[in-house]
Amino acid sequence: MIDLRSHIPEIPDFPRPGILFRDLLPLLADPDVHAEVISRLVAFAAPLRPDVIIGAEARGFLFGPTLARELGCGFAPARKPGKLPSSAWRETYALEYGENVLELAHGALQPGMRVMIHDDLLATGGTAAASVALARQADAEPIGACFVAELRGLDGRARLDGLPVHALVHYEGA
């Protein structure tokens, strides 16, 4: 089993002073490490039988489409405002260091679809909670959420309405 944490450098004071950024991009640089990430996410998600993965822009796009392919399900991107050419559901959310909006195209989900939420990192839970809200606006059923890393000190799980949540790497504190 590959030690994923050893492939995640920590960058202090990014994107602003006081933030310790965990850079997950190196997980993509080595095909064996990338495959390990996907394999572990699939192990969590497969028993929940998702019909679609919602991945939040932009970092949910890194592993989300490959995860969906491995699960044999669809991928629906939750985009930043103004990126979709058609009408969309919209959800505003708070970040660890700001505020943002996600949009999901009408028609990306069908009522009753089983939706797995995916993003690279679970911190405050704002992005993931917004993805859950978008799925519910589409009358789809959120069934779980999976992440590559989690900052446990920020208690993002608490914002996910009791959904099953899985992260591959955990960091205590913020």
- Which domains, from first to last, does the chain contain? 4-171 (3.40.50.2020)
Average pLDDT value for residue range 141-161? 95
Residue 93 near residue 126, CB atoms below 8 Å = yes
Average pLDDT value for residue range 50-71? 97
Name the catalytic one among 59, 90, 114, 136. 59
**Does the annotation mark 96 as catalytic?**
yes
Name the catalytic one among 57, 70, 90, 96. 96
pLDDT of 174: 64
Q: How confident is the model at residue 25 (pLDDT cuts 50, 70, 90)?
A: very high
Ranges 49-58, 88-97, 165-174, most confident: 49-58
pLDDT of 109: 98
pLDDT of 93: 85
Question: Who contacts 146 (Cβ-Cβ below 8 Å, separation ≥6)?
Answer: 41, 44, 45, 67, 116, 117, 118, 165, 166, 167
pLDDT of 51: 98
pLDDT, tens digit (0-9, with 9 covering 90-100), for 83-97: 999 899 999 987 656
pLDDT, tens digit (0-9, with 9 covering 90-100), for 102-121: 999 999 999 999 999 999 99
**Does the annotation mark 59 as catalytic?**
yes
